[in-house]
């Protein structure tokens, strides 16, 4: 009797978890993972943190060793899927091969948003999304003296911290009026502006880049306001775009991501999707969202694997994220979009440890916790279970965290 084949397109965090969960949920058929890089799935967050600093090697970044996939009979194939034929249940690969599937999982991730300003193609201009990007930057770090980072989001700031640790002069250029404007409150932006200034990073906000200049290798970056910055290394971090084209061309519903239900199913009963490429209805915020986070990718993958095995596990995870910069671990619980009150626990102006709680009409909806693991765990529980808390008491550090539970 022919074994059923489950194919996972992508070799991301979601793919690593999905292949594992398929076996755990009892999938007895074949499992094939197709990735466009030569590596098995690896941890991506450290690329802008410990890997750039030289603290981690490629092998140390693998989510699971090769032996794990061999033991669980999970095949890995390097390749690029160019088309899905849903009627025939086949995949076309860029090398002309065709592959049949019984069940299909799309873990397509996202790609960096590219810039098109003059000089963007010069040597020394980098993005940071995958291993090749990180290796390219790492190869230049030893020689670089002046780095300009375009984009003041988490990737840009984490990269700035990693480069400062290696003694490189760093300038961050952000088009918005403050760093982290898209993702957090002004209080957090002010805090990280102060921290980076203390660490020797120069931040300019409200600036647009006119050109990246140099003969063959980057030498400087000029701005529309006349400012010019010396640079032998430029790193661009201006967001990502979900990889939905493959799904869209196959008639799978797409809307700022591949649209999935609570069980990570697409509009095709044989196809699920998980990770950065998906758009789901979040039960905690009652709205459709697309999340770029490892936690979301892993949890969705578990749900998607269950669905492929004919089981019903609902996706109910509260969104959470983290960012490491210098000696600071920021842990974020929930989504702060729509807040109308911010309460701070700790000193945000001079210290390096505090929690910012975001309320909407008296209900806690999110928290940013810097070096505050207890407040982070507390916030996750309060938000997920909609526990009523007094904002004023939450700000009072004389009341121990555990008393709120």
Chain segment 177-225, per-residue pLDDT in tens: 999 998 888 999 999 999 999 999 999 999 999 999 999 999 999 999 9
Q: What is the CATH number of the domain that holds 367?
A: 3.30.390.30
> Could you tell me the pTM of the whole model?
0.94
Confidence check: pLDDT of 51 > 70: no
Structurally, the chain folds into a number of domains equal to: 3
User: Residue 1: is its pLDDT beyond 70?
Assistant: no
Instruction: Kindly state whether residue 313 falls inside one of the protein's structural domains.
Output: no
Is residue 14 located within the same domain as residue 79? Answer: yes
Write out the residue range of the structural domain in which residue 272 sits.
5-111+241-308
Question: CATH number, domain at 286?
Answer: 3.50.50.60
For 10-32, letters b (16+ CB in 10 Å) and e give: bbbbbbbbbbbbbbebebeebbb
Per-residue CA distances from 47 to 124, 182, 354 (Å): 18, 22, 26
Q: Is residue 319 part of a domain?
A: no
- Are 96 and 245 found together in one domain? yes
Q: Residue 100 CB: number of other CB atoms within 10 A?
A: 12
- Tell me whether residue 147 is in a domain: yes
Q: Are residues 63 and 144 in the same domain?
A: no
Task: In whole angstroms, give the CA distance from residue 303 to residue 385.
Answer: 21
| Residues near 109 by beta carbon (within 8 Å), at least 6 away in sequence | 10, 12, 14, 242, 243, 275, 276, 277
How do residues 294-340 score in pLDDT, each as one tens digit?
A: 999 999 999 999 999 999 999 999 999 999 999 999 999 999 999 99
Residue 378 φ/ψ, nearest 5 degrees: -60, -45
Last residue of a domain, one of 236, 254, 272: 236
pLDDT in tens, 332-348: 999 999 999 999 999 99
CA distance 122 to 74: 40
pLDDT confidence tier of residue 58, bands split at 50, 70 and 90? confident
């Amino acid at each position: 009797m022919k074994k059923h084949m489950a194919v996972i397109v992508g070799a991301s965090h979601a793919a690593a978890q999905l292949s594992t969960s398929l076996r755990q949920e009892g999938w007895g058929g074949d499992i094939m993972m197709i990735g466009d890089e030569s590596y098995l799935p690896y941890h991506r967050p450290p690329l802008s943190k410990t890997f750039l600093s030289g603290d981690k090697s490629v092998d140390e970044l693998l989510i699971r060793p090769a032996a794990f996939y061999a033991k669980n009979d999970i095949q890995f194939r390097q390749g690029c899927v160019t088309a899905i034929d849903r009627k025939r249940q086949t995949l076309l690969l860029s090398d002309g091969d065709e592959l049949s599937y019984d069940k299909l999982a799309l873990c397509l991730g996202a790609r960096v948003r590219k810039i098109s300003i003059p000089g963007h193609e010069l040597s020394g201009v980098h993005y940071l999304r995958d291993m090749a990007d990180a290796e390219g930057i790492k190869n230049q770090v030893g020689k670089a003296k002046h780095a300009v980072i375009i984009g003041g989001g988490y990737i840009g700031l984490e990269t700035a911290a990693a480069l400062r640790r290696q003694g490189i002069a760093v300038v961050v250029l952000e088009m918005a009026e403050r760093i982290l404007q898209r993702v957090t409150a002004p209080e957090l932006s002010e805090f990280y502006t102060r921290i980076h200034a203390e660490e020797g990073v120069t931040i300019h906000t409200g600036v647009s880049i006119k050109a990246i200049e140099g003969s063959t290798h980057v030498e400087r970056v000029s701005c529309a306001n006349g400012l010019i910055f010396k640079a032998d290394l430029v790193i661009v971090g201006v967001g990502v775009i979900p990889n939905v084209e493959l799904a869209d061309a196959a008639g799978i519903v797409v809307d700022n991501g591949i649209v999935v239900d609570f069980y990570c199913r697409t509009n095709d009963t044989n196809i699920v999707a998980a990770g950065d490429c998906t758009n789901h209805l979040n039960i905690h915020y009652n709205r459709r969202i697309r999340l770029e986070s490892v936690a979301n990718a892993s949890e969705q993958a578990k749900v998607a694997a269950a669905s492929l095995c004919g089981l019903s596990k609902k996706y109910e995870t509260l969104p959470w994220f983290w960012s490491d910069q210098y000696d600071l671990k920021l842990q974020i619980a929930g989504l702060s979009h729509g807040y109308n009150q911010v309460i701070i626990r700790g000193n945000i102006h001079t210290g390096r440890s505090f929690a910012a709680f975001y309320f909407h009409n008296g209900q806690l909806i999110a928290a940013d916790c810097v070096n505050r693991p207890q407040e982070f765990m507390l916030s996750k529980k309060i938000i997920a279970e909609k526990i009523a808390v007094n904002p004023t008491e939450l700000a009072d550090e004389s009341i121990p965290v555990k008393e709120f539970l």
